[in-house]
Amino acid sequence: MLKDKRIVVTGGAGFLGSFVVEKLKERGCREIFVPRSKDYNLVQSDACKRLYKDARPDIVIHLAAKVGGIGANRENPGSFFYENLMMGVQLIEEGRLYGLEKFVALGTICAYPKFTPVPFKEENLWNGYPEETNAPYGLAKKMLLVQSEAYRQQYGFNSIYLLPVNLYGPKDNFDPSSSHVIPALIKKCFDAMQEGADSITVWGTGRATREFLYVEDAAEGIVLATERYEKSDSVNLGAGFEISIKDLIMLIAKLTGFKGEIIWDSTKPDGQPRRCLDTTRAEAEFGFKAGTGFEEGLKKTIEWYRNARTEKIL
């Protein structure tokens, strides 16, 4: 039962975090602390110490991260590695010293090897090097799994490690300099229609495949794991399907109403060739199964973005 726990949600004001906070409130949680980066720069150890002192948490759900799409990863490999590593490592260490009941670490699908057999199984996580364009980010987040396992073994520290696939949904990041593929493509289609353009250009060849998890489903999976899962073995969170980027943009074009030409810039990277998760462990361990159909989730995301543009929020 979480309702009587004091819970810190790092990144709780962000895209995924805001949905996790809502799921916690639905379960009756009253003491939820969301640290803001202007008050707690979690890359710095003093800020991590102060967070534990101020919030006095029973549970920490660590969602804060420096993230972006392929372009952002290529431009910021050093800061993506350093900031993600330092936030997680220091929060876990300070949690151990503080006597935290439970730490929930969020990893990334980018931690998997570049040529992982599909569907990705958790036991294949160490069988190769990640895809080069996002390896620094993926490896930084992967170290939290090493720390989680080592701290449970040596100190009996209760931490879990979840591996969510690519997320999408309302309130996503639509900034073209740092957005992921779905919001980037949605924005391209709307911008083209607004400007009267007869084509859009998309990175890569379109042959790469991806799996996508609706953000509200991801939030439910994280909260279920917080309630029910007590092991350091990594767990995939996904929807259990894959779609090619070519098919994805055709679907987004149809749902947004864009009728122009799709031009592929094959000089730009595709990223990892395929991504699709084996999700059986999450269902077996804590009863999680994605409930939102992909086209349904895309419609909700597109509708939210259309309204945000109309209201000039974005």
Which three-class secondary structure state does DSSP give residue 199? strand
Report the predicted TM-score, pTM, of the whole model to 2 decimal places: 0.94
| pLDDT above 80: residue 143 | yes
215-228 helix and 15-26 helix, angle to the nearest 10 degrees: 50
Tens digit of each residue's pLDDT (9 = 90 or more) over 9-66 = 999 999 999 999 999 999 999 999 999 999 999 999 999 999 999 999 999 999 999 8
Q: Specify the residue for token string 């309702």.
A: 3
Q: What is the mean pLDDT of residues 156-166?
A: 97
Judged by DSSP in three states, 178 sits in coil
| Residue 292 per-residue DSSP state | S
Cα separations in angstroms, 144 against 20, 27, 53, 162: 20, 27, 22, 10
Identify the CA nearest to 84 among candidates 58, 110, 59: 110
Q: What's the chain's Rg over C-alpha atoms? A: 19
Q: Tokens at residue 185, please?
A: 């493509």
Which of the pair, 177 or 238, is modelled with greater confidence?
Answer: 238
- Please list the helix, strand and coil fractions of the chain in percent, rounded to the nearest 5, in that order: 45, 15, 40
pLDDT in tens, 200-221: 999 999 999 999 999 999 999 9
How far, in Å, CA of 277 to CA of 221, rounded? 14
Residues 308 and 140: their CA atoms lie apart, in Å, by: 33
For residues 231-254, give the mean pLDDT: 96
pLDDT band at 272 (very low <50, low <70, confident <90, very high): confident
**pLDDT recorded at residue 244:** 97
What are the beta bridge partners of residue 264? Answer: 202
Could you give the C-alpha distances from 180 to 19, 110, 169, 177, 237, in angstroms and in order? 18, 13, 11, 9, 18
- Cα-flanking dihedrals φ and ψ of residue 293, to 5°? -65, 150
Domain limits of the chain? 6-165+214-240+275-291
Residue 314 scores a pLDDT above 90: no
Which top CATH class is 6-165+214-240+275-291? alpha beta
Asked if residues 161 and 222 have their Cβ atoms less than 8 Å apart, the reply is: no
Q: Which one is predicted more confidently, 73 or 299? A: 299
- The mean pLDDT of the chain is 95
Both tokens assigned to 52: 């534990």
How much is the pLDDT for 81?
Answer: 97
Q: What number of other Cβ atoms are within 10 A of residue 304's Cβ? A: 17
Give the catalytic positions in this structure. 137
At how many degrees (to 10) do helices 77-98 and 45-55 cross?
Answer: 40
What is the model's pLDDT at position 71? 82
| % of the chain exceeding 90 in pLDDT | 90
SS3 275: coil
- How far, in Å, CA of 165 to CA of 212, rounded? 6
pLDDT of residue 208: 93
> If you search the block for the tokens 């911008």, which residue do you land on?
191
pLDDT at 67: 82
Choice among 20-34, 234-248, 266-280 with the minimum mean pLDDT: 266-280
